[in-house]
Every structure is written in structure tokens, then in C-alpha cells.
Chains A and B, each alone.
Chain A
Amino acid sequence: MKYACLIYSDENDTTANPDPLSKEMETIMAGYMAFGGAAGDKILGGEALQPTPTATCVRVSDGEVIATDGPFAETKEHLGGFYIIEAADLDEAIAMAAMIPHAAMGTVEVRPVIDFG
């Protein structure tokens, strides 16, 4: 089965989101490298996102495009990145999600991907 692992954390929490050039960030990146190595080709794709101040919300109303500043929801934790993984079942997906460094500093939401095939 295919799952999306949506990685949420508090952008103002400097433990989860330290300065990009800091030692702490290096440690986190090493964690992601380790995850990538362990999960191997079970990772089908994924990206890290720029923080929410860079976000723009787009809505179309009566054919008019309305673009507004900011993320969709005012919550404490925001989507910071995602993976698409292949796992035999939810237990394997949970085990993989638990290896994502931000699972220990935020939340990883695991969602099955719809199979249109």
C-alpha cells in the first residue's frame, strides 16, 4: 500500500526548527539521511516545504482567483514536508513514520493514498 507521511511541527519551536546553519539542524538532517538510508526504495517521493510565511492560499470564487497571504489554518503545528512511502500495511507504515526525525519533535500524520488503479 501507498501512504503519505505528512510531517507537522511548530515553526516557532527552535528544537524542531533550528537555524538552518546550526549544529542542531545538522543533527536533524543526519536523522533524515539515516531515515532515507534505512527506508531505501520504500520511499517513493517527498519534499521539504518552505515555512508558512511563504505560503499563499488560492481560492476561486465565481471564476475570480483570490490569492491571500498565509497558510490555510491557524494552528500551532504546520505541514513542513512529506514523504510518499510504500508499506505492506499500516503497522509497517507506522514503524517507518516513527523513524522520521520530526516524529520526535512534532507529529507525523500517516494517510493511505487512494489507489485509482
Chain B
Amino acid sequence: MSESFSHDYGEIIRREWPRVVATLVGDFGDLSEAEDAIQEAVVEALRTWPRSGVPDRPGAWITTVARRRAIDRRRRSNTGRQKAELDLRLRHRLDGSQDPSDVVDDESLLRDEQLRLLYACCHPALAPQAQMALTLRSLGGLTTSEIARAFLVPEPTVAQRLVRAKKKIAAAGIPFKIPPDHELLARTDLVRTVVYLIFNEGYDASAGADLVRAELCAEAIRLARLVAELTPDDAESLGLEALLLLIHARAGARVDAHGDLVLLADQRRDLWDVDLIDQGMMTLDRALRLERPGPLQIQAAIQALHNEPPPTDWEQIELLYRRLLDLRPSPVVVLNHAVALATAGDIEGGLRRLDEPALADQLDRYHHYHSARADLLRTIDVAASALAYRRALELVSSEPERRFLERRLTEVTAGLSP
């Protein structure tokens, strides 16, 4: 078997993974059991496909094999009571069908099963790190070692995180179900937050030498697309997909040949990914046509304005941030609004907002706050600006950002010398 062949199989398996996991969790009600059985089925696939060729419906093939493996295991090891439960559950699900793989073809059933899995992986009773790892594993189809590489943590750490999270789901009774209507909005918001966190982990790499870990961003976009497909009536899910596409389109221009951070205004626009921008704009358009505005759509609209040819319409951006503040106020949004206000021309107004004691207190440990303040102070109070850059430097942990802040500090202190 050649490398490229095995790569193709990997692609196929990853594409089918979330549906297969969702189906098996639906059958057996247990994530660990489902994954173990699928793992066995995948091994079987990699053994037989090179000889027999990839089946017409690879997902159905893996599901059927995994289901048989899981049933075998249960029959071997379980008590009579559990056996009876299993038989009942499976009979109910396979009702009227001779071929167990037929279940996979029911699109609306599959959609619901993936949603149930998604809501369980992003359950609020799990820690954010566990939510991200579980979602990447169960719905993104990433392996433990891929997740470990993406988060720059040792593989055993991720493995342990996943085991604990799966144990908690089983032991604490976290349900695989679509939340009731009165909780649905909040729970779907949380799902989107988890996907956004995964994206940010890749985009604003919180530690290490690389500023952008592109695979993680691409993975988050795949997940955002899946969430948007699974919640087609929720404009915010499309908003998230659009937002991530529009930000990620600029990834190639955000770091220069030396690995240094390039500000949006200084980026080479020919390095932006036009396809991603087009996809993002189309997705945003679809979201806006649902006429249910929300914070993620507004953020996507802001990114869309940044992607327009210069001069950037900062007044419009400022207005959008103001709307975002109405809808979902947070210290970081106040910060972004203040920067937009200043860039639109009202530097002192922007600074006044940044210097509000409550905000200064909340964002004191956030290096972006201090570097934004330093930027605004450059033309007003050079000494205060230098002080703020120094504070940002104390807090920053990514190397490219550190070098950027050092350059900025050198520039303003050059202005200080007599």
C-alpha cells in the first residue's frame, strides 16, 4: 500500500467519522465503547480495502463492522440485564430493516445523532479543555496525537483528558440529547463558543513560536461548517462559519518571512486567500438573509469590512462594534470598540473608554489591552505609551507578538530621546 493510498483512506475515514461515531453512540449510548468499536472497524478497513477496493458507502461499511464488533464485545462480557437492554435498543433502531447499515442512510436521523453527540461533547459540565478535545476527537475525527500536536501538549495529557471526559459523560449521566427549546439557544451558543475557542487556539496561538497553527484553524472551520449544517435555521451558526473563514483568509499575510507579526493595515493583500473570502462572504450573505442578527454575524460583518479594499470604513466598523456592545457586552468588545472609535478619528474618546477604571481592572492581565492603549497614546503621550508597551511585553507569551511589541517600544522610545 503506497503512502498516497493510505492518505486517501485516512481522508475517507475522517470524512465519515462524525456520522459513524454519532450512529454508534446512538446504538450503544456510550462514547468510549463506540470509539473502541470504530477503531477496530477502521483497522479492519485498512486491512481489507486495499485488496477489495473502497466500498460504495464507506461510512455504512465502517458502521456495520463497528456495530458487529460492539455487539460481540457486549455479548461476551455483559450481564444478562445489559444484554437484554442492548437487544431491545438495537431491535428498536433497526426495526423493519434487514441490513443494519440502512440506518446510516436516514439523513434526518443522522443529523439528530450528530447533534446529540455535539451537545454532549460541549456540555457545560465539562471543562473547556475537555470540550475542545472531545469535539475534535468525536466530530472532527482527529487522533489523540493530532490533538496533542495542535495544542502543544504531551499526548498522554490529551489521552487522559479524553478518558476523564468520557468517564464523566458516562458516570455523571451527561445525556446524548438535543436540549429542550428553552435551553437550546444557550446550549448552541456554547457549542459555537467551543468551536471559536478551537479556532482561536490556532489563530492566536497562546504560546510557542508559531503565530498561526493553520491546521487547527482549518479544523475549527470544518467543525463550524458541520454545526451550520446541523443547525440550518440558526443564523448565528452561519455567522460563525463566515467569521472564521473571513479571518482565516488573511492568515498567510499575518506573519512575514521572518515569522514576525504583520498588522492588518500593513498586510500584503495579494497574500489573502480570495477563495476563503468568497466563501465567507457567501456564508455571511446566507446568514443575513435569515434576518436574525446576532453577535457572530456582526463580528463577521466587521471582518468583511476589513477585507474591503482601502480606505477601511472605520466609521461603519465603529457602529457595528457599538451594536455588538448592545447585544453582547464584554470587556474585549469595549476594547475593540474603543480602538475602532480612535481609528475612526476620535483618539481621545477611545482612550477615555480604555481608561475607565472598571475596564482597566478587568483587562489588566490582557496584553492586547496594554498594546492597544500604547498604540493610541503614541501621538499623545510618548512616555505613557512606552510604559504601556512595557506592560504588554510583561504579559505576552507568543514569540512573534513579543518581537512586534519590542519593535513598537523601540520606535516610541526613539521619539523620547532628546
Contacts and interface: CB of A to CB of B under 8 A. Distances in A.
B179 A90 contact: no
Dominant secondary structure at the B interface: loop
A93 interface: yes
Interface string A68-91: 000000000000000000011111
Dominant secondary structure at the A interface: mixed
Interface in B48-91: none
A89 B171 CA distance: 10
B175 A112 contact: no
Contacts of B123: 90
Nearest to B169: A90
B140 to A, nearest CB: 24
Given A90-B125, A94-B125, A112 B179 contact: no
Interface in B148-175: 171-175
A112 B173 CA distance: 8
Nearest to A111: B172
Contacts of A110: 172
Nearest to A87: B173
A1 interface: yes
A88 B176 CA distance: 12
A99 B175 CA distance: 20
Interface string B108-127: 00000000000000010100
B133 to A, nearest CB: 19
A89 B116 CA distance: 14
Contact of B171 (A87, A88, A91, A112): A112
A1 B173 CA distance: 7
A114 to B, nearest CB: 9
17 contacts: A3-B173, A88-B173, A88-B175, A89-B173, A89-B174, A89-B175, A90-B123, A90-B125, A90-B173, A90-B174, A90-B175, A91-B174, A91-B175, A91-B177, A110-B172, A112-B172, A112-B173
Closest A-B pairs by Cβ, 10 of them: A89-B175, A89-B173, A90-B173, A1-B173, A90-B174, A112-B172, A90-B172, A91-B175, A112-B171, A90-B125
Given A89-B177, A91-B177, 16 more contacts: A87-B173, A88-B175, A89-B173, A89-B175, A90-B123, A90-B172, A90-B173, A90-B174, A91-B174, A91-B175, A91-B179, A93-B173, A94-B125, A110-B172, A112-B171, A112-B173
